[in-house]
Amino acid sequence: MLITIITFILVFGLIVLVHEFGHYFFAVRAGILVREFSIGMGPKVWWRRGKNGTTFTIRILPLGGYVRFAGDDDDDEEHLRPGSTISISLNNDQEVDTIDVSKGRRLLQGIPLQVVDHDLTDKLFIAGYINGDESAVKRYPVNHDAVIVEPDGTSVRIAPRDVLFQSASLGNRMLTNFAGPFNNFILSLVVFVILGFTLPGIPTGSNRLGNVQAHGPAARAGLVTGDRVVKVNNHRVASWQALSQQISTQPGKTVTVTYAHNGHQRSTRIKTKTTVVNKQKVGRIGIEEEISKSPVARVKYGWNAFAQSGTLIFSVLGHMITHGFNVNDFGGPVAMYAGTSQATHYGINGVLAFLAALSINLGIVNLLPIPALDGGKLLLNIIEAIIRRPIPEKVEVVVTLIGFSLLLLLMILVTYNDIQRYFVH
């Protein structure tokens, strides 16, 4: 169980890290201030502010994570309401460089201030009474790169207008919103390719024979590794699937096999062995599919696995659209944990396959045009491009809150259903 828990944390954590890094990378390139890049949720256990102004945090619950763009929230307004008691420090130019609103401590050499007014977006100032003296209001200019020490002690940059998410061009905002799911696709493809390189060999799917079992029916008939089977009982076979089907449906019977050996075509008659698979009798002649160990074949395997996973997810979504919504079609964290448990039974390859499939799954789901998801944000971007004017901020906030509420309700239902499915029934 401990291995499953650790694996789950690592798999889910890596997927979230890669997703959020996509948002972070393109935001920084676009000149958007990323105030915080958090790994995990809940109370912080470590933080450090980077040279570009982003505060990197690790939080106590190792599940999930987020990036906080400048303009994403109104926490600064909440902490700096008129009447709030804070402390500030000044730089050599007598500009405020630190605003401390934390509850646990105050700046040792800070100036106590009871807030009267402030503007940290455009005019960049803060005004208030010093030491409770209400006889005069003192107004201080605020440095563009000043930081706020939040209630939990985390230090983040203020959010002037020029670095707000909303101030970036529409194209850059769309790229930033799309970058998270895109990174999930890249991660999935890379892991599938890595998986291809961990396998002993990649099945070619061709009608060329791989290993021919010694003393088996095919070997006794003269077939060797590298021969290409072209017909079975006058049925043309151009792939391993077709060859396997023709043989397996003839248990205990004699079949005529036409094959190419060193450029010459030959025919032979082979009596198949009868074996039982899933309570069904199938024919066998002691041959194995050809495998390739070339890098090209391994990369191709990764691409095909990636494409097949994406196709499967889209088919499931299409089925939901045409046949109606069913909560059993969804899986939440509990289902992911159960999937991790199953994957660990197959070793590193099982975990890699699960990681790759889960990453592309979350990438596609995140692109659904649902408010609060990246796809919903992209939809708003597209609408903005069509109407050629920004969507009112209040409208965007309301739409996002509605979408988030619906997602939260769905997550509760899915989690309850998963618990019933995996632990009760």
- Which residues carry out catalysis? 20
CB atoms within 10 A of CB 234: 7
Residues 6+ apart with CB under 8 A from 47: 55, 56, 57, 58, 154, 155
